[in-house]
Amino acid sequence: NAGVTQTPKFQVLKTGQSMTLQCAQDMNHNSMYWYRQDPGMGLRLIYYSASEGTTDKGEVPNGYNVSRLNKREFSLRLESAAPSQTSVYFCASSEQGENSPLHFGNGTRLTVT
């Protein structure tokens, strides 16, 4: 049982380049999330999808777009990468509901030069 799978694991981009981070879960969860983790900042929510067909902004959505492709997949796109987007990105999923714990992927470490 793979759980939450993120690709790629590492990526280096130049300022202005674009890329898409992929996330897939095989637990039949309704809700999916993208967080970024920066030293001393904890995890901050970028976007989430409460259910298939819906997406909502989190705390730090600027510079990002998301697509809930189907129930399994939730991608995060950087249209024009900036050095401030250097971070570790985590995808997570949960059963629907505010008391459901999150299941995390292993992260994508992104460096923008």
Partner 1 sequence: AQSVTQLDSQVPVFEEAPVELRCNYSSSVSVYLFWYVQYPNQGLQLLLKYLSGSTLVKGINGFEAEFNKSQTSFHLRKPSVHISDTAEYFCAVTRNSGYALNFGKGTSLLVTP
- Interface with partner 1 (CB under 8 A): 4, 31, 33, 35, 40-45, 48, 50, 56, 58, 90, 92, 94, 96-99, 101-107
> Can you tell me which residue has the tokens 């280096």?
12
Task: State the Cα–Cα distance between residues 45 and 17, nearest whole angstrom.
Answer: 22
8 A C-beta contact, residue 23 and residue 74: yes
Q: How far is the CB of 21 from partner 1 (least distance, A)?
A: 14
Question: CA-CA distance, 46 to 37, in Å (whole number)?
Answer: 10
Shortest Cβ 43–partner 1 spacing (Å): 4
Q: Which is nearer to partner 1, 31 or 85 (CB)?
A: 31
In the complex with partner 1, which residue's Cβ is closer, 19 or 88? 88
